[in-house]
Structures are given as structure tokens and as C-alpha cells.
Amino acid sequence: MKTFTYTIRDKEGVHARPAGIVVAEARKYASNITITSKGRTTDLKRIFGVMGLCIKFGEEITISVSGSDEELAAEMVQKAFAMNL
């Protein structure tokens, strides 16, 4: 399993547009990918779950990736966060 943490830099938090981009990226991989914020964990491939976490500017989140393509998935999802959030 690969995990990484990330702090949200977008002033508006995880709003619809960037949430869509990271979810779209996550869906490209076979691995299970979860996002944890404020103690709650949800599937990063499910946009309503991700938006329901209500993640705000300045918050730290943890992403866990496990599966056959976890190396690549973790790297690319991290990139998607860094570029959009």
C-alpha cells in the first residue's frame, strides 16, 4: 500500500471542478484508492463521497492506494492534487 498526505491550497476547498479532476484520475486505475479527512474515509472514485467530506482550504488529507498498479496510481493522483487543489 502507498499513502501520502496533501494540504489543500485551493481557497475554495475541494469544490466540484477540481474534485471531478481527481476522481477522474483515480478512476483510471485498478487499485483501491481512499481519501481520509477529519477522521472520515471514503472511496476517491466516488465524487459524491469525496464532496461530502466538505474539505476546506488548509486542511490536510491522506490518500491510500492499494492494488496492482499502486505505484503509478499514487504518483498520478498526487500529481492531480498538486496541479488542481
Task: Choose which of 3, 7, 62, 68 interacts with other proteins (CB under 8 A).
Answer: 7
- Applying the rule CB under 8 A, the residues between 56 and 75 that interact with other proteins are 56-58
Cell of 62: 491522506
Least distance to other proteins from the beta carbon of 18, Å? 7
Phi, psi (degrees; rounded to nearest 5) at 28: -75, -15
Q: Which residues are annotated as catalytic?
A: 15
Residues at the interface with other proteins (CB under 8 A): 7, 9, 11-13, 15-21, 23-24, 27, 46-49, 51-52, 54, 56-58
